Every structure is written in structure tokens, then in C-alpha cells.
Amino acid sequence: MMDQPASRQTLSAWQLDAADTVSQLDSNAYSGLGHEQAEQRLASFGANDLPPAPPVPAWRRLLRQFHNTLIYVLLASAVISLLLDHLVDSAVIFAVVLVNALIGFIQEGKAENALRAILSLSETRCTVLRNGKTARIDSKALVPGDIVLLEAGDRVPADLRLLESKNLHCDESLLTGESQAVTKNIGALPADTLLAERKNMAYMGSMITAGTARGIVSATGRNTEIGAISDLVREVNIPATPLQLQLHTFGRQLTAMILLVTAGTMVLGITVHNYSLAEMFRGAIAIAVAAIPEGLPAIVTITLAIGVQRMADKHALVRRLPAVEVLGSVDVICSDKTGTLTANAMTARRLILAGGQYRVEGDAYNPQGNLIEDGANNQPGALRKAARVALLCNNARVEADERQQWQAIGDPTEAALHVLALKAGLSDGDLVARLDSLPFETERRYMATLHAETGTDSQWIAVKGAPDRLLDFCRYQMGENGIETIDLAYWQQQLTVLAAQGMRVMALAQKPHDGGPLAHNHIENDLIMLALVGISDPPRQEAIAAIRDCHSAGIRVKMITGDNPVTATAIGRELGLNAEAVLTGRDIDVMDDAALADAAEQVDIFARTSPENKLQLVRALQKNGHVVAMTGDGVNDAPALRRANIGVAMGQKGTDAARAASDFVLTDDNFATISRAVAEGRTVYDNIVKAILFIMPTSMTEAGVIMMAILLGTTLPITAVQVLWVNMATAITLTLALAFIRAEPEIMQRPPRPAAQGLITPLLLRRLLLVGSCGVFIIFLLFDHYLEKHSLDYARTVAVNTLVMIEMLYLFNCRFLHHSIFSRRFFDGLQPFVMAVVMVLLLQLLFTYWGPSQQVFGTTAISPADWGVIILAASVILWAVEIEKLVVHWLQCRASGKIL
């Protein structure tokens, strides 16, 4: 039956009886498929894997570096120069464009290599029945109808309909977001059963935490639930970053302005001053080359690359270079709960005794932590007895791995009880041999072990299990004065309180034993109630602080989880989120776009969500104008991670699917790292703005000098080749220093940058006017002065060095956007600026005094006294900009009513 259409793989196996599922899949529950049958199905359905998207070819990555409006104009200028036989001009322009492209190409190549390292997969194997015999095979060879055997520690290799299940517990957090392991059974379920509630299915990628099972493969590869999410990821388009959009708009606006100015200058030069068309072409190219910030793409790339390195030092691995800057404008962070805001480790957090209760400190499976009395009378005897049951009636343990990270070996809930016993003062040395045991069974919902009292012949029974089950068997409780009649109302009240806090509750009890083999009738009467233990996946303490930091920075945090609403509400409240309202996936499914957009704004906690719901919420927030970061670690988070403006995956506990869909990978799985990355993203954007604030006014000064000379009909103070020299000498030296500026102190106290905010701001326009006009005036003044006394080459050499000196001094103005450089912070991070200035000075000395350079650029040696004149004249710009900052600050303070 199965050797037909692949659509058979998608049958809703959970709604069929186990026998009907086997029949539908044309298999045998006890002997499995035959080898020939399996090979035929493998050829028909394909390998049981999810093929990765093909990598971008190197040639395409290289060509992509030239896809920029400004680069197109430069290439056109180079071609025109070549046609006019201006070979030096053409060669220099081509060299600048090529250097910029190579920088971007190399950086993207590094990112691709890092991604391949992250996504490297080890071979997984599974146990199957083939021809009635068990075999270990590569999970890629699984086909529908295969019978798979599962035990604790296995990762489920495909979607399975369970046929037999013995105390099976499955961790499905990577697929559903459910923090607690799910107890499985084999009964048929209604067709509309939610994914997280399909108890008779084991889905690909889930982890078996306890028990054993036999299941039949109902779907493989792309037809699995993980495969459906993978297809959803492929359908999602990655939005362009705000900076990409702004640079694209900025490039078009600047190109239009340059073309308009050069065309107007050509017309005036030909009609008013009778210049030839060839002369005007060369003049127009000189203006274009001077005005176009050809170093801007390279500086943006370098600034982003430096941000990448800084983020790597802070445990954030960047997969997509432009994403670094996007963090600066993020105003909403949508976070998965399990493993992101929480530790993804079940932890005993409350211990309720008959005489009071304890609050349990510590995180995850680390046995370090204290029990803090919380309204409890001191009951060391009762506490020790409860801890002893938690330690002995237990099949799990914890141990530290090679990174000294504590891990659970066995069922997570049992591991939480083991850690509780250690925190209560017991140790593994207190373990004693079991005389007998009754394992946990789903029908009875308890586990019991039999032990002998140390140094005596008396025996006692330790019991743990579901409270509603054990309370029926308890006749006594361990009270302040010893054993007393149980107060059922008290325990029911405490159980209700713990359940309302979203905790999983376990009951601990004991009783004496008269001897003989342990049986269920010994358990189900006269138990002594010792304690209730509230267990949950606790929020990370650093996540609580990070959310507080995000709120102070104007960033809203929303929790989107597949967990149940009660647990989500309790955790959200602890994290500091608005827990007044919670929406579930079912609520979202019935909302129209308008209602969802409103709910996405108002609500901070979303529970029982599907991958589609998470994607809908991200889109709704983006439609409302928000820049959204999405964090997650599971396969179910992948579509939303890809659609978000910034996708942030967990590196340690995250899945490969989540990492592949993300822009960032947190190598420490710490939500607090996102807060630090946001600060770095804002710094990167600030530094790009500072670079533009430096490049554009200085470029306008260069272009203004040439344009003014043409309009006035005078000799050019600076030639096109000399302009190219200045651009090459300063763009990757002076501007580069701005990329190394550290974050300004108040960077996380200001609100997020509006995504629609363009790069052309009032500040940039003021600087263009101030620096451009003053610079052109100073250069013309010195050029005319020296032209009267010296040769043309001498006057031009002075003009070029004045231009470079203006840029060097103006560089220091750009260190701070709004603050004066004359402050205590002047020496902070000064080294890159000093190095850049020294390097440019050395280049200018070569430009001025080296013979071959003089021949190429038409320069000549100038006297030391003239250097003093150049420095003095150029310093006018520095003082003018600092005065402008002071005036603007004064006006802002006056407008806001603040005292200066």
C-alpha cells in the first residue's frame, strides 16, 4: 500500500488505532519491513533528512558587492575617463571600486564559513526491526512503515505513531515549546488534537527522557512536522535591514543630486565660459569623483565587521553582516520561553511541609543553592525525611560536563528532586541500596522503593508521585511534633497555590514496612505525607535583569511560547512582563488581521502557539511599524526567526534549524547577551552615522572647490587625480578610526532609533553647509594667495594639503555626535585617531616631497612655514564645528526648559 503516492506519508496517524495505522502503512508491528520493501520505499520517498539550502556561489557574492547606485556612477566615471584617454584617473577609480568590493566579499565569505561550521551535523543512528531482527541503521535510511525501538536517551529519528509505550516521557520543547517532558500513551485521539497534545505520537527531533516504546514511522524527511516547518522557513522572505533601505535611498538621492549639479555645471561652463565639451566632461568627472563617497561602502562594511568581532567577544556570533546594525533600531523583542528566557532545566523551587514551606534557591541542575524558610517553623527532621525520599526514590542524577555545566542524567523531574536533596544537605554518599521497587506507571502515577533503616533491621517505603493520587493514600503527615493525622484541606490549598504558579507538583511520602516483597497494596493505604515539591523551568536571573534593561532602553519584550497559559503567565510575571492578559494559539487562529495587529500591541504573553502563530505575530508587529527581534532555540521558532528583522538563536541548546534561520547565534544561550548586543548595534549605527557625517561634508568640500572654480572660470585649485589621491589616502585611514569608537555612556538610556529615520538629517545638512562652505572658502583663499607668489603646482600642493588638514582636524569633531571634544572623554579611545592622523601625515609627506609622486600628481615641495599656515587655516573648521555644537545644545536646553 505504501509504495504509492508520497501523500500517504501525511496521514493523521494520531486519530487511528495502532493496528489501523500499521495496516494503513502496510507493515508488521513485530517483524517490521523486509529489506527489499524498505529499499523500494527509500527510492520512492527519498532519504529521511532535510536538505539544506544551496550556498550562494562565490561569483554571485562578488557581483553583489557592485550592486550599489554610487558604485554604478563611479564605474561610469571610470569608463568615460578611459574613453577620454585619462588612463590614470580611470585606473585609480577602478582600483577604489575593486578594493571596496573585495572587503565586502571577504567578510561575507567568513560569515559563510562560520555558518557551515555551526551547521555541521553528526550522523545519527536508530534501532529498527527489519525482517524480524533488530538492526542499527542510519536514520536517513528510515522509510514509512519502519518499526523503530526507542529508549531513554534516544532522539526520535522520524515522526512515529506509538504502538507500545512503557512509562515513555518525551521532551518535545524544540518542536512545541512545552517545558515539561510529555507522558505518552497509545490511544487514538480526535482529528483536531493540537500538536502539543498528541500523546500517541513521537515527533522527529524530540528526545526520550524516560521509558521505552515501539513505534511505526508515519512520516519522514520533509513530510514530518519538522519538515513542514522547514518548508515554512523557505517560504519566508528575509526583510531588508533599515540601514540597507536607508543606504539605498541615500545613494539614489545623492546620485540624483550629483548628476544634477554636474550637468548644471557643464552647461554653465560651456555657455558662460566657453569651455570645450571634453574639458567639461573631465570637470564633471572630477566633481562626481569628489562628491561620491566611494569609501562609504567599505567603511560601512568595516564598521559592521568590527561590530561582528565585538559581538563575538560578547558571545554573539553574527551570521549576516548587515544584521549588526539592525539591533540599533529594534523596539520589540519576541522571545521564546523555554531555553531562552528560562534555563530549559526542571528545578525544584518550592518545598511545602506540614508546618510551613521553603523557597529553594539556585538555578537549573547546579546543586549549589540554599533552602530559605518562608513562613516555616524549623523542622529539620521533616525536611531531612522529605529530602531522603527525593534522593532515594529516584532513578536520575546530575553531573558536570567538560565545560562545568550541570546536566541531568535521566528524567528531568527526577533530576530536579535529586538536586533538591543535595541542596537540603544530603549527598550521593547517603544513597543506600534498594531492597525492592515499584517503577512509575502511567496508570498508577507513583513510584516506590524499599529500603532498610541504617544500622537496624526495620524497613521503610519511599514514595513519590502525583499529589492528587498520593493524598488519597495518606492517612498521616509529618507535623511539627511528629506523626499526626493528615490535614487534607491544607495540602489541597497548597497544591492549588503551586498549580496557579504554573509549577508541576510532586508529592513525597513514606511508611514503615513489615517485610516481604513490595506490592501496590502496601502503597495505597496509611502513607505518611512528607512534602509537596513545586517544580518548574525557572526564568534565568540574568534574563530578568536584561528585560529590565530593555524596558529602560524603550524596547518591549514579548514572550511567545508553546507552553501552557498557566505556566507562561507565571513565568512572565516573574520576568517582569505584563501578565494581565494572555492569548493562546487558538485565540490567534480566529482573529482577523486588524484584531491581531491590536492584540500584538497590547499583549506581552502568548501561549500554546504554533510556528504559524509565531510567524503571524512577527508579521503583525512589523505591519505596525516595529523593528522586531525574535529569539528562540527550537525548530518551531525557525519560521519566525527568519521573518523577523533580527533572528537570534541559541548556540548551546538550540537546534540546527533555529541556527540556520537566524542572524545571530548566542554562544552562551543567555538572553542578557541580547541586551549587550543591542548596545553594540546602536554603537555600530552611531559610528556609521559619524562616518557619513565625516565623509559627506569633506566630499562636498572637494566637489565644491572644483565646481566653484568652473563656475568662476578660474584655474582648478585641485585636479581630479589629486582628489582621487585625497580620497584614497583618507577614506581607509581617517574614516576607519571612527569605526573603532566605543559606545557612548547614555546609549541604552535613549529610545530606539525610528526605522523610518533617514540618513539625511538636520545635523548632516548643517555640517554640509558649515564645513563645505568654510572649507571651500579657506582652500580658495590659500590657493589664490600662493598662486600670486608661486607656481601653479606649488599653489595646488598647498590647497591639497589644506584639504587633508581640514579633514584630519574635522575627524576629531566627529568623535562625538553632540558632545564637545573638549571634555574629560577626549582621551578615551584616542589611539586609533592618533594612528590614523600619523599615517595620513606620512602619506602627505610622500605626496608632497617624493619625486615619483610629484610627477604623477603634479605636486612640489613646500616650505615648513607654509605647513604652519595650513594648520592654522584648517583649524578654523574645528573651532567652527565645536561652536555649532554648543549653540545647538543651548537652543535644545532652552526649548526643553533645562538649565545649561
**Distances in Å between the alpha carbon of 469 and those of 416, 446, 507, 528?**
20, 8, 9, 14
Instruction: Write out 7-43 in H/E/C secondary structure.
Output: HHHHCCHHHCCHHHHHHHCCCCCCCCECHHHHHHHHH
User: How many Å apart are CA 386 and CA 531, to the nearest integer?
Assistant: 6
Q: Which is the catalytic residue, given 154, 336, 563, 663?
A: 336
User: How many Å apart are CA 350 and CA 501, to the nearest integer?
Assistant: 11
Three-state DSSP at 347 gives strand
And the C-alpha cell for 422? 543535595
User: How many Å apart are CA 698 and CA 814, to the nearest integer?
Assistant: 12
Give the pairing of strands 482-485 and 474-479: antiparallel
Cα end-to-end distance, the chain, whole Å: 84
Contact 448, 500 (CB under 8 A): no
Please state, as a whole number, how many other Cβ atoms lie within 10 Å of the Cβ of residue 767: 23
Query: Which residues lie closer than 8 Å to 423 by C-beta, 6 or more apart?
Result: 348, 360, 361, 362, 367, 368, 369, 370, 371
Q: Name residue 636's amino acid.
A: N
Contact 317, 110 (CB under 8 A): no
User: How many Å apart are CA 308 and CA 310, to the nearest integer?
Assistant: 6
User: How many Å apart are CA 825 and CA 846, to the nearest integer?
Assistant: 33
- Which stretches within 456-606 are classed as H helix? 467-470, 488-500, 520-523, 541-552, 565-575, 585-589, 593-602
And the C-alpha cell for 885? 555644537
Name the nearest CA neighbour of 287 among 262, 312, 264.
262
The angle formed by the CA atoms of residues 311, 316 and 317, to the nearest 5 degrees, is 95
Instruction: Write out 854-873 in H/E/C secondary structure.
Output: HHHHCCCCCCHHHHHHHHHH
- Whether 336 is a known active-site residue: answer yes
Cell 533503616 sits on residue: 453
Q: Which residues pair with 505 in a beta bridge?
A: 534
Q: Which residues pair with 504 in a beta bridge?
A: 535
Long-range contacts of 876-881 (CB under 8 A, 24+ apart): 876/774, 876/778, 877/771, 877/774, 877/775, 877/778, 877/806, 877/809, 877/810, 877/813, 878/809, 878/810, 878/812, 878/813, 880/770, 880/771, 880/774, 881/767, 881/770, 881/771, 881/810, 881/813
SS3 content of the chain, % helix, strand, coil (to 5): 50, 15, 30
Contact 696, 289 (CB under 8 A): no
User: How many Å apart are CA 292 and CA 259, to the nearest integer?
Assistant: 11
Q: Name residue 865's amino acid.
A: A
Give catalytic residues, as residue numbers.
336
